[in-house]
Amino acid sequence: MFHFEVVTQWIDEFLRTYLTDVWALLIEYVLIGVVILGVYAVLALVLIWLERKICAFFQCRLGPTRVGPLGLLQSVADMVKILLKELIKIDRVDPFLFRLAAFMVIIASICTFGAIPFDKGLLVIDFNIGVFYLLAVSSLGVVGILMAGWASNNKYTMIGAMRSGAQLISYELSCGLAMMTIVMLSGSLQLSEIVEQQAYAWNLWRGGIPAIIAFVIYLIAGHAETNRGPFDLPEAESELTAGYHTEYSGIQFGFFYLAEYLNMFIIAAIATTLFLGGWQPLYIPGWDAFNSTMAFIPPVMWFFAKAFACVLLSLWVRWTMPRLRIDQLLNLEWKILMPLALINILLMALWVIYL
């Protein structure tokens, strides 16, 4: 089975052969930054196109068809348009916080994206507290959202930001408890080690009923954290115009738009890493011929296939379910998901001790 670890080690050895350690590290940092930003941008364009096509399918339409084959270049055209648009100056805003908010949202998204292990050797840094890092860094996005709503000096943006703050802080608890359930099963916070333990059985099957319950809780809570329907109250167009980013234009609006789509992929990627085996292929005990065939598929393709399957499930839910009211949204978290997640942690503890 081919892993990108071979490529990254070769690049490191090649640079250190001809350069000093300082210059080799500097070039590696630059390469990592360029690759992250490139993959980040390409994934956003693909996800935007994919959502338009899926939305069109659910509404019996065709979606983008004119720019490029199957409308594949429509997202690129939109990107160029948003880069060229004028930044409209808004009166009576806090200029520093107004500009900083967009960067806070995108920085939180990129820092989370950088810690995801796409393959063995294909990750920026492998923390021994990787799950804790993901929870901590992903929480910074709500700071940017609250900052955008307050600095815009607009009642609609403020209402959207307050809704988003209440929603994200609430659902982060269930999301974190679901992730801690898998940490209990694995006995480690290190993402690469969690994936390695799933070589012959994904955590979704290894953990039995508690792992399945945690997976469902994580998918619901994670979907709510992306502010997408039916949990899109912070951006409810029919009520709040565009929510917390109503006053933004041009590339500043583009940052919020980009972060929203990448957060959807990040939630799917974390679900893939913790529950669905990460880059590990599908193995069925006793099916040697089937397992050998699965092992020929590159691990990075396995990772993206699982992640995009979770993304498709998220889009299916968005274009199927009606928007919840704010009281329904918070009742779902505090009266259903949170108690269930706490009980599920006890079930996982019993599973680990006795089975």
pLDDT confidence of residue 159: 82
CA distance 3 to 59: 41
Backbone angles phi, psi at 347, to 5 degrees: -60, -40
pLDDT confidence of residue 123: 83
Quick one: DSSP state of residue 87? -
pLDDT < 50 stretches in the chain? none
pLDDT confidence of residue 345: 94
pLDDT confidence of residue 256: 85
Instruction: Give just the sign of the alpha carbon dihedral 315, 250, 42, 189.
Output: negative
Domain locations along the chain: 5-354
* Three-class HEC string of 108-141: HHHHHHHCCCCECCECCCCCCCHHHHHHHHHCCH
Quick one: DSSP state of residue 89? P
pLDDT confidence of residue 15: 87
Q: Report whether 233 contacts 280 (CB < 8 A).
A: no
Q: What is the CA radius of gyration of the chain?
A: 21
By CB atoms closer than 10 A (0-12, 13-18, 19+), residue 309 is: middle
**Six-digit token pair at 240?**
């709040």
pLDDT confidence of residue 334: 92
Distant-in-sequence, close-in-space partners of 41: CB < 8 Å, separation ≥ 6? 79, 258
Q: Report whether 208 contacts 355 (CB < 8 A).
A: yes
User: How many helices and strands, by DSSP H and E, does the chain display?
Assistant: 16, 0
CA distance 242 to 298: 41
pLDDT confidence of residue 351: 92
User: What are the angstrom distances between the C-alpha of 68 and each of 38, 40, 71, 76?
Assistant: 21, 21, 5, 10
**Six-digit token pair at 224?**
């709510």
Quick one: DSSP state of residue 90? P
CA distance 282 to 280: 7
pTM: 0.91
Question: Helix, strand or coil for residue 244?
Answer: helix
